[in-house]
Structure 1
Amino acid sequence: MSEVTPARRFRRATMADLPAILKIYGHARELMARNGNPTQWGSTFPREEMVREDIEQRRTMLLVDTVDGEERVLAQFALCPGADPTYANIDGAWLDDDPYVTIHRIASSGLARGAARDCINWAIEHYGNVRADTHPNNKAMQHVLESNGFARCGLIQLLDRPTDTTRIAYQRHEW
């Protein structure tokens, strides 16, 4: 279960959140590089245009809390409903072909432990059938997904870049 309290809650991002979101993505890129995963997001992913589109399409969810009357963003992710074209071909097998949502671009600000776990659990609680993928070098995200009951389903290839395309695909379906 998520540790969501009145002071710790989820909300959709607005354009006013863009600077904080971009800062957190920068922090996440640095953290991934320091932990042996410099290529998953490189130095520019996700690009600002993608982040803006996620906000405009109401895909960006924020985990926030309030300290001394000030709201802080603890973590963020894009929640994408509908079939993800990247997931059409898998070297392996999905748990099922039922409708699902995909978690993309999850990142923690580093201000609170367990923030990524809380984001994943929120998605499961609200949508039931959730897919995600991560880079083979992203051991931290693999651990978060697997320790939260996701099954490793196989390998997929990203469609939006020419190199470093292999990702480990995960799914969790609450029946």
Structure 2
Amino acid sequence: MAFGFRKASITEQSRVWEILEQAIIRRRADGSNQWQDGYPNPAVVQKDIEAGIGFVLTDNDLIAGYAAVLINDEPTYADIEGEWLTNEDFVVVHRVAIAQDHLGKGLSGKMLEYIEAYAADNNIYSVKVDTNFDNIAMMKIFEKRGYIYCGEVYFRGSPRRAYEKVLPRNTEIR
């Protein structure tokens, strides 16, 4: 398998939405309330891609995963109930989803690896993420990749677990 990670193009919007829709259905089947309120939706995907923050994980030429990757752009993170490890520039990751036919291959972790490299390539040494309290699989992935639980943040009135990973400086991450 030859993996890649790049910005999504607007022509790929429907495939990205298909992947997110599959994730929404999986979250519901797991008994989660995450992503069960009409968010994310196709308009969010379009906005991500148009803003240049929508990224795809590719397996050869197939889109296998999606994430929104932002730099210093999460106002909610200023109001953490807890404490971040750093107060410097950071990369934020939202809307991580893997295609149904690519599950079980460790691709969420692979995508985080690419995102960490993207951060370091931009001279940013902190990646901040959050997830629902009932998204056990994502919490395990964060912990496996060395993310530290820092406290709670709130999105649309719901508490979320917030994590941060401080990246090494001047070293190769890949």
* TM-score, length basis structure 1: 0.87
Selected match of 2:55 from 47, 50, 61: 61
Partner secondary structure for residue 98 of structure 1: coil
Q: Which residue of 2 aligns with 1:28?
A: 23
Unaligned runs of 5+ in 2: 120-124, 169-174
Is 1:10 the counterpart of 2:5? The answer is yes
Partner secondary structure for residue 172 of structure 1: strand
| Pairwise CA distance, 1:51 | 0.9
Identical columns (%): 27
Q: Per residue, is there more helix in 1 or in 2?
A: 2
Give the alignment's Cα RMSD to 1 decimal: 1.3
| 1:84-138 Cα distance to aligned partner (Å, 9 max, x none) | 1010111110001010010000100033311111111111122131000000011
Q: Which residue of 1 aligns with 2:113?
A: 121
Question: AA paired with 1:171?
Answer: E
* TM-score, length basis structure 2: 0.88
Question: AA paired with 1:156?
Answer: V
Structure 1 runs (4+) deviating above 3 angstroms are none
Is 1:75 the counterpart of 2:68? The answer is no
Paired residues of 2:55 and 2:66 also in contact (CA < 8 A)? yes
Instruction: Number of aligned residue pairs: give it.
Output: 161
Paired residues of 1:83 and 1:99 also in contact (CA < 8 A)? no
Relative to structure 1, the CA distance from residue 174 to residue 29 in structure 2 (aligned partners, 3 Å threshold; closer, same or farther) is: same
Question: AA paired with 2:47?
Answer: E
Paired residues of 2:86 and 2:126 also in contact (CA < 8 A)? no
Q: Which residue of 2 aligns with 1:171?
A: 164
